[in-house]
Structure 1
Amino acid sequence: MTRVVSLFLPTWSTDRFRRKSGDAAPPVEAPLIMVGREGRRRVVQAADAAAQAAGLRVGMPETKARVLVPGLIIEEADPTADAEALDRLAGWVLRRYAPLAAADPPDGLVIDTTGADHLHGGETAMLAEMIERLAGSGITARAAVADTWGAAHALARYGGQAAFISLSGTASQDIADLPLTALRIPADMAASLRLLGFERIADLLDQPRAPLALRFGPELGRRVDQALGTASEPIDPIRPPDLIDARRRFAEPISTAETIARYIGKLVDALCTSLEAKGLGARRLDLICHRVDNHAQAVRVGTALPVRDTRRLTRLLCDKIETIDPGFGIEIMTLAASIAEPLPERQSVTSLVDDTVPDVSDLVDTLANRVGELRLYRASPVASDVPERSVTRIPAMAPETGASWPGHWPRPARLLARPEPIEAMALLPDHPPVAFTWRGIRRRVACADGPERVFGEWWKRDAELVAVRDYFQVEDEAGERYWIYRAGDGEDAATGSHQWFLHGVFG
């Protein structure tokens, strides 16, 4: 089932202006509008959140806006620059999220994420990451994912949620209560429909098409069909000018897996030749299969390190052939290196004494493309005394950070995601518990070592200025070893609650 994401950027023009202005940008709380000429009038063409909260709307005359909001910041609109920046943003989305992405002017993007969401932890995590990354760049965004472009577009703008996920097969129910303008029909058409008593999309779904088509033309029915998925709406993906790709057009459409695999090998060979000429290696490959019915099937694979090994890249792509639906046949295949990085030539040097380091990057690539990049990682130490902050996840093939694990006190093999409260009997302030209860089981302590005092990191937040933890390694009568701590120093209530927690289990 096709899955399409619509990214809605409600204040795109003003966000772009602030981002471009840098340090000279007006503060976020200051109302900002972009104005342009409409005939002989100057009208508001974009308004930020503060201006909208003050009652300003797109289409309002500039003179009226000045009167309504004293101290209003007014800038000249630049639709051409907005469109160019939107294309650049689509190129960034293409490289990071999915091989089929395009601008959806004037204030959005459309992305075909079919088969790509698992690489980002699923649709929920993917949408959250998109919104968070854009917010970090000063761009307000809302997102929705659905089976069709039309449904995703409507839900992103009128769904009422920052991130809306429409389950497969539920698009008609999800958009039923949305206003008619969500169908991307002209404003005058929506106004005429309201005069006839049509308010919501649901009001149109069961109506005979012929009378509506006779009065409003074919566009209304086409938009409804596109939203429901009964009419196709292909995405014309953006292709950055510096993109390295290889393309093959077939005289007769192909559909069998063996034929597709054969031409994948030829495309990979041509692409690797282009990469070698530029001294680059592929980090991400996008295979796009254009079908005769104007649909596109996309496959994305990634590598942990730059690669231009023909056999290796061909195998990664061929592992995904089962996800390609050729339909009535594929007439064009395009293979692009959406991310390419420098890869110098290596000299092959043999030695009888030097130990060779095994190359596991091929295995990492195979696993990452099957289970997702986020699910394949390794633990790396972080310079922090607080245990839960002293470890982080890094990509499997990431270079060493140079940090090392603390050696003065041993750490448990299993650190709980969150410390779990326990009931403990101990003599304050420095003695370990003589017994504790964890998950309903009472354990008597046979021996213990500690305390190891860990201080709060005052530069993180003010609450940690005086906070401390006293950690103990304890062993119960069954020989099981645990890592427990008391919040606080056992004397001053300001240092912690003096409650006991279990934080880890030794192997």
Structure 2
Amino acid sequence: MVGRIGRRRAVAHMNRLAAQAGLRVGQAVAHATALVPGLVLHELDAAGDLAALQRLALWAQRLYSPTVAADPPDGLVIDATGCAHLFGGEEKMLIDIRDRLTKAGLSVKVAIADSWGGAHALARYSPRPIFVVPPGALGRELHPLPVAALRLPADLVQALAKPGFDTIGELEATAKGPLAHRFGFEPIRRLDQALGREREPIEPVLAPETLRASRVFAEPIGAPETLARYLCALTVELCAALEAAGLGAKGLDAFFFRVDNRIETARLGLAAPSRDAARLAKLLCDKLETIDPGFGVDRMVLAAPGAEPLAYRQDDALGGPASADLSGLIDTLANRLGPEHVYRLASADSDIPERSVRKAPPLESPAAFSWPIDWPRPTRFFPRPEPIETVALLPDQPPAAFTWRGVRRRVRRADGPERVFGEWWKADAELARTRDYFQVEDEGGERYWIYRDGDGEDAATGSQRWFMAGVFG
């Protein structure tokens, strides 16, 4: 990619093969083409790249955190505070980000650190594609990296290299007074930001069409009741804007800008679009217990990203029974317990019992379960089938007795087998797999659903072991 540095055309970006050929960023185009004959050149579209990066930031904001910003020219910065646990931890969150962007055709390196500058440096200059810095270890991980990782201008990096400052560790070990006298305060500021000694605010990206309400305070506020009062006022203002646009909020993001350049955020998810100011304000105020105002908040912003069309609904004019609206209850439970803990069970198209049930959004229309009518299913399924020991005649006879959880049970009645084949279209390993299910009743009248993994004869069809799949009520 060719851009301009002053009046000359120079290499602005390049792929891995170009770097292996000996080219470097900032090199004159004439020199680069002389070194590598047949070099493919494209004019750099800096404005288009920045617009694409902003769109990518909006995508990440919807999925990962309310505080996401573009980190030009080629990165995103995400404040993962309070968000990583939703993905099972910081490393799993990074893996999810990498996998999604890789599927979109992008080459990705990701890092989590205690500071924006630290994560920026590790994501670009560490050889590891996924890097999670343990708390308190940021300095140790940054010291071996080159000075260029501190987001310094190229000419300043070259100036620091002349007296021998090649790594961040060497710069950190130098007295700051002479360093500032010779090179200015920029290296010290970037060093403090990378090591977390100076806070660097992340101004979250918002789409131009996103409806929002904001309030700037002449004096910082921090009392919980004061924050709640202004948050309610912003909610009323935002709901009025939503009503004027005929929209309803599917989620709300509240940003609290602190006087120490830190931004506290609260995200509210809704089961259905809404612009009920009273209900939304109550849900938002419940989130205030997670907000640390520090030395005070001097600005608040409330935004409704991804608002959806919402129209008034007329009740039955003849006085018939109105359908119950559970969205308020679902919103309260989801924002207290976490959205991953509130769901509806729905049927899935699969003959394998463990795969025949899926988690669905709470307000999804319930559908009849696609289980066979002739073969009833137990009222209680086990998340994972439990192994049992059996005495059985192969291949088609039910067991005469079985031992489950240390208790031996003699079978009095049995029905089966019901054969279920593997889903060969999902995995080649299931091409020959089969299961034989039996409904059995023991001498005490208890009924169980057990199965044999395989057809009882061919080892390719399964392990031929028996398992407890569920219990009838």
Q: TM-score, normalised by structure 1?
A: 0.82
RMSD (Å) for aligned C-alpha atoms: 3.2
2: CA distance, partners of 1:482 / 1:145? 48
2: CA distance, partners of 1:236 / 1:358? 41
Contact 1:121 1:372 in 2 (8 A): no
Q: Which residue type is aligned with residue 129 of structure 1?
A: D
Q: 2:433 aligns with which of 451, 467, 475?
A: 467
Contact 1:489 1:495 in 2 (8 A): yes
2: CA distance, partners of 1:234 / 1:461? 47
Q: Do residues 266 (structure 1) and 239 (structure 2) align?
A: no
Structure 1 residue 324 displacement after superposition = 2.0
Q: Do residues 359 (structure 1) and 325 (structure 2) align?
A: yes
For 1:59-208, what aligned pairs fall within 5 Å after superposition?
75-190=42-157, 193=160, 196=163, 198-208=165-175
Q: Which residue type is aligned with residue 194 of structure 2?
A: A
Residue in 1 aligned with 2:206?
Answer: 239
Change (3 A) 1:270 1:64: same
CA deviations on 1:458-489 (whole Å, 9 max, x unpaired) are: 32233333322111233445655443322222
Structure 1 residue 318 displacement after superposition = 0.4
Q: Do residues 327 (structure 1) and 294 (structure 2) align?
A: yes
Residue in 1 aligned with 2:343?
Answer: 377
Contact 1:289 1:332 in 2 (8 A): yes
Contact 1:176 1:200 in 2 (8 A): yes
For 1:203-282, what aligned pairs fall within 5 Å after superposition?
203-282=170-249
SS at match of 2:264: strand
Q: Do residues 435 (structure 1) and 401 (structure 2) align?
A: yes
2: CA distance, partners of 1:67 / 1:233? 42
2: CA distance, partners of 1:441 / 1:189? 76
CA deviations on 1:426-462 (whole Å, 9 max, x unpaired) are: 2111012233445665554443321110112232233
Structure 1 residue 169 displacement after superposition = 4.2
Structure 1 residue 76 displacement after superposition = 3.9
Q: 2:261 aligns with which of 290, 294, 297?
A: 294
Q: Which residue type is aligned with residue 352 of structure 2?
A: V
Contact 1:383 1:403 in 2 (8 A): no
Task: Judge which range, 486-495 or 193-202, deviates more.
Answer: 193-202
Structure 1 stretches of 5 or more lacking a match?
Answer: 1-33
CA deviations on 1:204-241 (whole Å, 9 max, x unpaired) are: 44443212222322112111211222212112222321
Structure 1 residue 118 displacement after superposition = 4.5
Contact 2:388 2:402 in 1 (8 A): yes
Q: 1:392 aligns with which of 353, 358, 380?
A: 358
Q: Which residue type is aligned with residue 274 of structure 2?
A: V
Change (3 A) 1:417 1:110: same
Contact 1:121 1:374 in 2 (8 A): no
Residue in 2 aligned with 1:7?
Answer: none
2: CA distance, partners of 1:438 / 1:188? 73
Residue in 2 aligned with 1:340?
Answer: 307
Q: Which residue type is aligned with residue 497 of structure 1?
A: S
2: CA distance, partners of 1:449 / 1:385? 19
1: CA distance, partners of 2:206 / 2:37? 44
2: CA distance, partners of 1:350 / 1:290? 48
Identity %: 56
Q: Which residue type is aligned with residue 296 of structure 1?
A: I
Structure 1 residue 111 displacement after superposition = 1.9
Structure 1 residue 307 displacement after superposition = 0.7
Contact 2:271 2:330 in 1 (8 A): yes
Q: Do residues 495 (structure 1) and 469 (structure 2) align?
A: no
